[in-house]
Amino acid sequence: MRRKAEISLTTAEKHTKLNHSREEPASMKTVLCVAFLVVALCLVCEAVQVQEGDFSFSLDSVKVFQQLTDQQKPQTQNPRLAKTSYFSVCSNPTLPQEFVPLCMQKGATMSLARLASVNVDICEICAFAACTGC
């Protein structure tokens, strides 16, 4: 009789171990699903691109560019010097590397001026034709 109790106890332990091993993959699936959703959300957040001619820039890079142009503009600027101030941003070491090919292109000042005037708030809600990836 005692032997049967030991055998049934051993069987109960086996069932308990089996139940725990079945729960682990379910929790692992949950962790993987959550991780996948977080990665997908991060990719979607960075998906908005601003088109300028043949070039495409991330919205965050355009924001950095606009901050740099705002910092370098004097409050009372001569309109004739506007082209020079946009081009001077190209020599700034904090400028995102995405802009280097544009800075090296002939006629870059007009493209840089257009990028400086992009309303990033409208890009964030995808209501501007130059912004893609929404």
> What is the extent of the structural domain holding 120?
49-132
Same domain as 88, residue 35: no
Mean pLDDT of the region 73-100 = 72
Q: pLDDT tens digits for 24-74?
A: 566 888 888 888 777 766 665 556 788 888 888 888 888 999 888 887 765
Please indicate, yes or no, whether residues 109 and 84 belong to a single structural domain of this protein.
yes
pTM: 0.56
pLDDT above 70: percentage of residues in the chain: 56
118/48 Cα distance (integer angstroms): 13
Total number of domains in the chain: 2
Please indicate, yes or no, whether residues 36 and 53 belong to a single structural domain of this protein: no
Are 116 and 67 part of one and the same domain?
Answer: yes
Q: Report d(CA 55, CA 114) in Å as an integer.
A: 12
Partners of 52 in beta bridges: 55
